[in-house]
């Protein structure tokens, strides 16, 4: 970011302004939506294993309270600074609005490289950060609900919920103070694969739109499409898995130290196991090596899924990209220069702000589970199975025919938690894709899907302010 003419937060503001032109909201209201409402910048001391006291720099930003609570991850990284946390918090407001998750945007950050600390030190830092948030009323199931982000995961979320609960004894909904928790601490099934599955659902919906596909010169549907995935981490792995399971061919997988290509398609699980054993995807049996990993982005394919890092497609390589659709699974994989080149070349960019919203959507489901104090499916699973069994036996009796055992089990099956979470995510991603596309199609002046997504977000947040009676 350092050689950019403007900061990360300013670049978010620029994208906002570009889209705001296509809305009719009062200038003052637009200014309010853009602003970060509350910024908590903190420093606290932590005693390290060697007896040294280190002063830790950390932040929590609540961008918008147009809906409560605020929601957004906590990252542990050397790069954390106030501007970055502000930008990420504002993106969370827009992301939540687009996928109809009724939260305001928030984000937190601790400026540490987690690899340089022992587990015990990390636990002390996380717990102290949580108690600082409690002291200032910056955390709570109805106030602000963090989640994992870069450098944090289930373990840190378990420390946060435990600290919160010990400081707020008797708070019945305390488990909803953070999401991304282990299942045993109130987490929800289906969260691990949520972002990759959301990426798949979003792209599948785009591929099911005949007019869009005709414009890209592609046939309707995901089946048979060729896909290149960059990054075989959580998001890339699961995106590849769902594309493959639905009949697409993942012809290349790129990792940080090399990429592989196979025209017949790759199985992500087998490639992952190979990488675990050999430290690289290179030399995977039956595949061609691509030693310069970034060259995989320029392969012939229908769909390109960058699922690793930011700024990987930029002014230098965007003209060499041959994909017809780019699905931004990572956050910010395209620079604004690349965006302009793709608009000019007619390549469809499906934007990160909503495409990778599967994580926050399922976080919303986790929060609802925590507030309702019941596992999804517990109330209806048995009832549904009994009813399905009854309907099936009636139909078999009336028709005199019997369905196969496999079909019987499928029809009878009542929903488990993971079924309901996947289904809720599918509905969310389909609805969000259609809303954005409708906005884009309704105004030929809107240059790209990203701007249409922003317009959608601005309209929803502005409307909520109206609903609150703030701007009658």
What residues are annotated to the active site? 107
Nearer to ligand NAD, 93 or 356 (CB): 356
Contact status, residue 7 vs residue 83, Cβ threshold 8 Å: yes
Q: How far apart are CA 61 and CA 42, in angstroms?
A: 11
Q: What length is written for the chain?
A: 472
Nearer to ligand NAD, 69 or 231 (CB): 231
Nearer to ligand NAD, 257 or 386 (CB): 257
Burial of residue 469 (number of CB atoms within 10 Å: 0-12, 13-18, 19+)? exposed
Strand, helix or coil for residue 13: helix
Query: Minimal distance in Å, beta carbon 237 to ligand NAD?
Result: 7
Query: Minimal distance in Å, beta carbon 18 to ligand NAD?
Result: 22
What does the longest C-alpha to C-alpha distance in the chain come to?
Answer: 79
Nearer to ligand NAD, 332 or 377 (CB): 332
* Nearest alpha carbon to residue 307 among 247, 261, 239: 239
Nearer to ligand NAD, 69 or 306 (CB): 306
Phi, psi of 25 (to 5 degrees): -80, 150
Query: Minimal distance in Å, beta carbon 75 to ligand NAD?
Result: 9
Query: Minimal distance in Å, beta carbon 410 to ligand NAD?
Result: 29
Q: Which residues bind ligand NAD (CB under 6 A)?
A: 195, 230-236, 254-256, 293, 307-309, 329-331, 356, 359
Query: Minimal distance in Å, beta carbon 12 to ligand NAD?
Result: 15
Give the residue closest to ligand NAD by C-beta: 233
Cα–Cα distance list, 364 to 103, 145, 179, 451, 452 (Å): 9, 10, 8, 25, 24
* Nearest alpha carbon to residue 317 among 335, 332, 300: 335
Can you list the alpha helix ranges (DSSP code H) found in 373-416? 381-399, 405-412
User: Token pair of 409, please?
Assistant: 């089990």
Instruction: Find residue 59's DSSP bridge partners.
Output: 41, 109
């Amino acid at each position: 970011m350092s050689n950019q003419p403007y900061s990360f937060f300013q670049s978010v503001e620029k994208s906002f302004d570009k889209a705001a032109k296509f809305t009719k909201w009062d200038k003052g209201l637009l200014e309010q939506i853009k602003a970060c409402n509350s910024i908590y910048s903190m420093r606290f001391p932590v005693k390290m294993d060697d007896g040294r006291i280190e002063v830790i720099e950390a932040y929590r930003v609540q961008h918008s309270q147009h809906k409560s609570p605020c929601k957004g991850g906590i990252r542990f990284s050397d790069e954390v600074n106030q501007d970055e946390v502000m930008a990420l918090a504002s993106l969370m407001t827009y992301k939540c609005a687009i996928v109809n998750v009724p939260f305001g945007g928030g984000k937190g950050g601790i400026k540490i490289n987690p690899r340089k600390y022992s587990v015990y030190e990390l636990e002390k830092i996380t717990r102290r950060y949580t108690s600082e948030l409690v002291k200032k009323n910056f955390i709570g199931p109805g106030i602000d609900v963090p989640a994992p982000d870069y450098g944090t995961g289930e373990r840190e979320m378990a420390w946060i919920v435990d600290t919160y609960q010990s400081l707020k004894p008797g708070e019945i909904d305390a488990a909803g103070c953070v999401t991304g928790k282990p299942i045993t601490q109130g987490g929800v099934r289906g969260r691990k694969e949520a972002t990759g599955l959301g990426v798949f659902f979003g792209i599948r919906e785009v591929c099911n739109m005949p007019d869009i596909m005709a414009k890209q010169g592609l046939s309707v549907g995901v089946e048979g499409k060729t896909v290149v995935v960059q990054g075989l981490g959580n998001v890339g792995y699961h995106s590849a898995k769902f594309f493959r399971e639905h009949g697409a061919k993942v012809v290349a997988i790129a990792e940080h130290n090399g990429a592989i290509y196979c025209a017949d398609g790759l199985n992500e699980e087998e490639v992952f196991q190979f990488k675990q054993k050999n430290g690289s995807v290179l030399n995977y049996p039956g595949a061609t090596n691509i030693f310069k990993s970034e060259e995989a982005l320029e392969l012939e394919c229908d769909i390109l899924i960058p699922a690793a890092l930011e700024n990987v497609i930029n002014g230098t390589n965007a003209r060499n990209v041959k994909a017809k659709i780019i699905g931004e699974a990572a956050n910010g994989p395209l620079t604004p220069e690349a965006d302009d080149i793709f608009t000019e070349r007619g390549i469809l960019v499906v934007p990160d702000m909503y495409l990778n919203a599967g994580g926050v959507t399922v976080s919303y489901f986790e929060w609802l589970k925590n507030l309702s104090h019941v596992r999804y499916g517990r109330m209806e699973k048995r009832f549904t199975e009994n009813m399905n069994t009854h309907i099936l036996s009636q139909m078999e009796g009336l028709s005199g025919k019997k369905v196969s055992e496999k079909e019987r089990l499928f029809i009878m099956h009542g929903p488990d938690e993971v079924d309901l979470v996947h289904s809720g995510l599918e509905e969310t991603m389909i609805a969000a894709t259609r809303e954005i596309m409708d906005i884009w199609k309704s105004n030929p002046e809107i240059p790209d899907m990203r701007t249409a997504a922003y317009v959608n977000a601005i309209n929803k947040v502005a409307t909520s302010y109206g609903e609150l009676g703030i701007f009658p």
